[in-house]
Amino acid sequence: MSVKKFILLICSLMMSVYVSAAANPYWYYSFISSQYSPWLEQDFQSSNAWFECSELDKPLFCSDLVTIHATQVYATISFEHDTSATSTKSTSPTTLLLSSEFSLVNFNNLQLGLRQDGFKLKKLLIDGVTLDIEQEMKHQSVASVDREVLLLINRYSATKPRTLYWQSADKSRSAVWKSDLNGITITYTR
C-alpha cells in the first residue's frame, strides 16, 4: 500500500468516526452519561430547535423531528423546577421522551443505540410475560440468564407490546422503552 493510499484510508476512518460521534445532538449526551454537562433551561429557550410546549407552570420543551441513532424521533424535555419563591437557579432537564413511529428499522436502530450508549437491560415485559434480569442473576449464571432473555425476546415478534427497562453502566441514568404497532417511546431519566 502506498503512503498516499494509507493517508487516505486514515483520513476516511477519522471522518467516519467524526460523523458517527456527531450523529446525535449535543443535548442528548447528558441523558446517557454523567460525564456530559446538561443543557440548562435557558439553553433550550434560546435554541431554534426547541419550543416551549407546556400547558402547566413546569417547563416543557418539544422538538420537531431530530435524528437519534439514525432514527427520526420527536423529543420532549421536562424539568423538575424549583418552586421556592426565592430561587433564581436555572434547572437542568430531568426527563427526555423520544417518540418514533413503529418500524422494524426504528425498533432495531433504537435498541442497538441503547446498547451502544452503554445501557444494559434490567427487566423486560413482553405481551404480559415479565423477566427481572437483576433478580434472575442472583440465582443463575450470566449465561443462563442471557439464554433466558434471548428465548423470551425471540418468542414474540417485535410488534408485540413490550416494556424494557434499561440502566446506564454507571447506574446514574435509566431508560424505559415501550413499543407496539402504534409506536416506540423511550423515556430517559437522569
Domain locations along the chain: 3-189
Report yes or no: 34 and 66 within 8 Å, Cβ to Cβ: no
pTM of the predicted structure, to 2 decimals: 0.81
Is residue 49 very low, low, confident or very high in pLDDT (cuts 50, 70, 90)? confident
Pairing status of strand 66-68 against strand 129-132 = unpaired
Q: Are 11 and 22 in contact (CB under 8 A)?
A: no
User: What mean pLDDT do residues 116-132 have?
Assistant: 95
C-alpha cell of residue 21: 460521534
Q: Which amino acid is residue 58, in one-letter code?
A: K
Q: Are 78 and 31 in contact (CB under 8 A)?
A: no
CB atoms under 10 Å from CB of 47, counted, come to 14
Cβ neighbours of residue 17 under 8 Å, at least 6 residues apart? none
Q: Residue 189: name the closest of 168, 175, 178 by CA.
A: 175
Give the tens place of pLDDT for each residue, 72-117: 999 999 987 655 544 445 566 789 999 999 999 999 999 999 999 9
Query: How big is the CA angle at 94 (ends 89 and 99), to the nearest 5 degrees?
Result: 140
Query: Band of the pLDDT at 15, cuts 50, 70, 90?
Result: very low
Count the neighbouring beta carbons within 10 Å of the beta carbon of residue 39.
22
Rg (CA), the chain: 20
Q: pLDDT > 70: what percent of the chain?
A: 81
- 52-61 burial by CB neighbour count: b if 16+ within 10 A, else e? eeeeeeebbb
Average pLDDT of the chain, as a whole number:
84
pLDDT at residue 166 greater than cutoff 60: yes
| Strand partners for 52 | 61
pLDDT band at residue 38 using 50, 70 and 90 as cut-offs: confident
